[in-house]
């Protein structure tokens, strides 16, 4: 039952004007696992994630968080209850220093020493820089350093690999895996098929306004229609 998961959105519909983006789409976050939404550009992945975390209202469908059902979610409320949402643009305020982001997080959630998170995201050199002077990939490291520090129970990260060089993805993968091993339910999205198939435990395909839960990355790779319509012929794991 989706309502048993820490975060779920079920049978979601959403239109923007005459554009029916979602007709019956579902996603759920499983504790200890990394679930990844894949699908073509404009298929509604970001829309579904924003609805699930309460940033956008659905036209219809059911939402669940921590065993409770609701017609709508409030992101600030969910955040206080342990959810973290990292949109594609990240979670940093450009004019504040990296250090002040960690301080704000510490006082909002009563957290301890940020040093291990700063170290894991390799942020020592930037601590006193305002985020606006950092490169896109460095900003992304700040966002995921903050995730590491906060240690959410549910993490929803939209396209976390976008703009990250292959070598710079490893620390991010470690943060995701480390969180999942500690029981966090992680949901992500993106187009870097090989990396995401390697990172994930569960693949959800977003297509034609709906979603198909394909199972493990290996099962997804064996799904003929997913291969044909999304991955293309060149993608393999070995």
Ligand X SMILES: Nc1ncnc2c1ncn2[C@@H]1O[C@H](COP(=O)(O)OP(=O)(O)OP(=O)(O)O)[C@@H](O)[C@H]1O
- Angle at which helices 98-109 and 136-150 pack, to 10 degrees? 20
Q: Which stretch binds ligand X (CB under 6 A): 44-52, 57-65, 96-104, 209-217?
A: 44-52
- Which one, 153 or 206, has the nearer CB to Mg ion? 206
Among 26, 46, 140, 143, the residue binding Mg ion under the rule CB under 5 A is 46
Residue 73 touches ligand X, criterion: CB under 6 A: no
| Beta carbon of residue 210, minimum distance to ligand X (angstroms, whole number) | 13
**What tokens does 137 get?**
């990939």
Residue 41 binds what, of ligand X, Mg ion, none (CB under 5 to 8 Å, by partner type)?
ligand X
Residue 35 touches which of Mg ion, ligand X, none (Cβ within 5-8 Å per kind): none
**Alpha helices (H) along the chain:** 45-52, 75-80, 98-109, 115-120, 136-150, 169-181, 193-199, 217-221, 224-226
Element (H, E) at 22: strand 19-29
- Can you tell me the distance from the alpha carbon of 8 to that of 196, in angstroms, rounded to the nearest whole number? 21
47 binds ligand X (CB under 6 A): yes
Question: For the CA atoms of the chain, what is the radius of gyration?
Answer: 18
Size of the site for ligand X (CB under 6 A): 11
Determine, following the binding rule CB under 6 A, whether residue 160 of this chain makes contact with ligand X.
Answer: no
Q: Does 16 bind ligand X (CB under 6 A)?
A: yes
The residue from 7, 8, 26, 44 that contacts ligand X (CB under 6 A) is 44
Cβ-contact 102, 114 below 8 angstroms: yes
Number of CB atoms found within 10 A of residue 81's CB: 14
- Pick what 212 binds: Mg ion, ligand X, none; C-beta below 5 to 8 Å, kind-dependent: none
- φ/ψ of 51, rounded to 5, equals -65, -45
Using rule CB under 6 A, residue 61 touches ligand X: no
By CB under 5 A, name the binding residues for Mg ion. Answer: 45-46
By CB under 6 A, name the binding residues for ligand X. Answer: 16, 19, 21, 39, 41-47
């Amino acid at each position: 039952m989706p309502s048993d998961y820490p975060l779920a959105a079920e049978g979601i519909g959403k239109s923007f004007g005459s554009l029916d983006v979602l007709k019956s789409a579902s996603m759920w976050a499983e504790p200890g696992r990394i679930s990844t939404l894949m699908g073509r550009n404009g298929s509604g992945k970001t829309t579904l994630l924003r609805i699930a975390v309460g940033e956008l209202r659905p036209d219809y469908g059911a939402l669940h968080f921590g065993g409770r059902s609701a017609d709508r979610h409030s992101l600030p409320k969910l955040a206080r209850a342990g959810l973290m949402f990292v949109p594609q643009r990240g979670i940093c305020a450009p004019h504040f220093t990296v250090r002040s982001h960690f301080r704000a997080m510490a006082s909002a959630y009563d957290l301890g020493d940020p040093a291990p998170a700063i170290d894991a995201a390799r942020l020592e050199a930037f601590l006193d820089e305002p985020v606006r002077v950092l490169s896109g990939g460095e900003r992304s490291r700040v966002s995921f350093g903050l995730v590491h520090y906060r240690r959410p129970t549910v993490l929803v990260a939209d396209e976390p690999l976008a703009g990250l060089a292959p070598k710079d993805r490893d620390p991010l993968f470690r943060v995701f895996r480390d969180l999942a091993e500690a029981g966090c339910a992680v949901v992500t999205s993106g187009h870097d098929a090989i990396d995401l198939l390697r990172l994930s435990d569960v693949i959800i395909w977003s297509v034609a306004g709906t979603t198909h839960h394909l199972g493990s990355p290996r099962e997804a790779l064996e799904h003929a229609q997913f291969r044909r319509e999304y991955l293309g012929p060149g993608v393999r794991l070995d």
